[in-house]
Amino acid sequence: MMKPIKVAVAGATGRMGQEVVKLIQREESLVLSGATARRKKGEDAGEAIGIGKLGITLTDSLDEVLAQGPDVLVDFTTPDQVKANTERAIEAGVRPVVGTTGLTEEEIRELDELCRDKGIGGIIAPNFAIGAVLMMVFAAKASRYMPHLEIIEMHHDRKLDAPSGTAWKTAELISKEREEMKQGHPEEKETLEGARGGYRDGFRVHSVRLPGLVAHQEVLLSDAGQLLTIRHDSLNRESFMPGVKLAVEDVMNRTGLVYGLEKILDL
């Protein structure tokens, strides 16, 4: 049997980090080698998230976790932590699998260069749910034929960033397929600031934040007499785990960093 992949988790007590720790526990091909969290540091990682003792103590020191020699670091922390965490992982020769949103295109390019210099693989995916990736790719394809469109993303009200990483990625994929064009009335005026949402490459992106939601997105595309709605709903955070597992396995066999799960799926 193959040796299990040693996975460390940054942000292990967060909404996503907890799911990743549970994923690692149920997969024989993965083993938890370390975990970071600040508020629950010193506690056992399993006990802290209610799944029983795992023998891994939570620490707020990423360097301590990296010194254990994991193969992969999975990061679900915050937009202000992720760049530094990922740089430190790569410098330590640990392959990053990043779900945390908020990295700019320039930062992603820098991290790719670092990975290549080290000869290791990495992936940054704003959304690990396979259905969400399909929604983004289908919407981008549809935009070639139906270029009038708007993106509406809807999330829980604990989310820090707007628009979501998924909406940014969708916009990027659409902008590669669709000729830039202005939509709506040329003399349109907002009488309530923000009413028309954010603007990118000629189309609008709207962010909704409500308690009880998880992660949802609609891309509305229209033409005379017709509306195409491409929608994805993550109903819980387990929905992201098959994609996380795929990414952890993938980075073991690549050099350089990819941005987007669609790059490692055979679509």
Ligand X SMILES: O=C(O)C1=N[C@H](C(=O)O)C[C@H](O)C1
Ligand Y SMILES: NC(=O)C1=CN([C@@H]2O[C@H](COP(=O)(O)OP(=O)(O)OC[C@H]3O[C@@H](n4cnc5c(N)ncnc54)[C@H](OP(=O)(O)O)[C@@H]3O)[C@@H](O)[C@H]2O)C=CC1
Residues taking part in catalysis: 155, 159
Residue 100 as a binder of ligand Y (CB under 6 A): the answer is yes
Q: How far is the CB of 96 from ligand Y (least distance, A)?
A: 13
Binding of ligand Y at residue 163 (CB under 6 A)?
A: no
Q: Segment 113-132, which members bind ligand X (CB under 6 A)?
A: 126-127
Annotated binding site for NADP(+): 39
Closest approach, Cβ 143 to ligand Y, in A, equals 22
Closer Cβ to ligand X, 120 or 139, answer by number: 139
What's the start-to-end Cα distance of the chain, in Å? 30
Which residue, 267, 36, 256, 34, is CA-closest to 124?
Answer: 256
Q: Which is closer to ligand X, CB of 66 or CB of 136?
A: 136
At closest approach, how far in Å is the CB of 127 from ligand X? 5
Q: Is 256 in the site for ligand Y (CB under 6 A)?
A: no
Q: Is 38 in the site for ligand Y (CB under 6 A)?
A: yes
Residue from 101, 143, 170, 207 that binds ligand X (CB under 6 A)? 101
- Lookup: tokens for 42: 């010193």
Determine the residue with CB nearest ligand Y.
Answer: 14
- Does residue 147 belong to the site contacting ligand Y (CB under 6 A)? no
Q: Please identify which residue in 155, 178, 232, 245 interacts with ligand X, judged by CB under 6 A.
A: 155
Binding to ligand Y (CB under 6 A) within 106-145 occurs at 125-128
Q: Is 258 exposed, middle or buried (0-12, 13-18, 19+ CB in 10 A)?
A: buried
The interface mask with ligand Y, positions 205-244, x = CB under 6 A, is -----------------------------------x----
> What residues form DSSP beta bridges with 204?
150, 199
C-beta closer to ligand Y: residue 35 or 140: 35
Amino acid at 29: S
Confirm or reject binding of residue 86 to ligand Y (CB under 6 A).
no
Q: Give residue for tokens 């009335």.
A: 185
Q: How far is 86 from 124, CA to CA, in rounded Å?
A: 10
Of 33, 86, 164, 207, the residue at the interface with ligand X (CB under 6 A) is 164
Q: Which is nearer to ligand Y, 46 or 147 (CB)?
A: 46
How far is residue 102's CA from residue 265's CA, in Å, rounded to a whole number?
23
Measure Cα distances from 160 to 52, 128, 163 in Å: 30, 18, 9
Q: Which of 94, 95, 101, 152 is nearest to 126 (CA)?
A: 101
| Bond before 211 cis per omega within 30 degrees | no
Q: How far is CA 81 from CA 86, 145, 179, 217, 249, in A?
A: 9, 39, 35, 25, 24
Binding stretches for ligand X (CB under 6 A) = 101, 126-127, 155, 159, 164-166, 215
